[in-house]
Amino acid sequence: MIPMFANLNVLRTAIRCPQTFSMIRLISTNSLTKGQLPFSYSLNGPKFVKYTRDHEWIAAHEDGVAFIGITKYASDSLGDATYIELPEPNSEIEKGESMGSVESVKSASEIYQPVNGEILEVNTALENKPQLINEDPLGLGWIAKMRVADLKDIEQGEDLLSLEQYEESLKHDDEE
């Protein structure tokens, strides 16, 4: 039976216990939404899902296609999105470069490219309904679909975090 966490402090306590890491993956609000893009792009789902300290996620599939978006933590911190600046399709973007931004009633935030690659497609639904990034940032609110230059950059990327590492980093963000 999976316990339901009543608040973030209980979740933080569970994160500190290594045996609960698999449980965290099941209940985290920063996990991909199953049953729709980007998870459903391939039959078995993504090969890798990684996170950045800047609160982006990347879900890479076996064929080298990856989807990029922002985490639930980021969308909650930004508040209600009013405009999403999307990258240009067919553009090559280097790791660390800005690929767009999210503007909200509270602030604006750049979205950074987590790995080298070519933008294949953007989520044009965000142009007419930017609030999708608040409603489902790890599903319908994905930002870009790209071809990754090398999947090893995701698998072995030292600055890319697993879900467990990302959740642990949030604990430190909240303490600052």
Sign of CA dihedral 40, 66, 88, 85: positive
User: What are phi and psi for residue 41, nearest 5 degrees?
Assistant: -55, -40
Query: Quick one: 96 exposed, middle or buried, by C-beta within 10 A (0-12, 13-18, 19+)?
Result: middle
- Residues facing residue 121 across a β-bridge: 145
Structure tokens at 58: 């990347």
User: What are phi and psi for residue 143, nearest 5 degrees?
Assistant: -100, -50
Task: Give the β-pairing of 81-85 and 117-122.
Answer: unpaired
Question: Considering only the top CATH level, what class is 30-161?
Answer: mainly beta
Residues in the chain: 176
Q: Render each residue's pLDDT in the chain as its tens digit; 176 residues.
A: 333 333 333 333 333 333 333 333 334 577 888 877 788 898 889 999 999 999 999 999 999 999 999 999 999 999 999 999 999 999 999 999 999 999 999 899 999 999 999 999 999 999 999 999 999 999 999 999 999 989 999 998 889 999 999 999 998 766 55
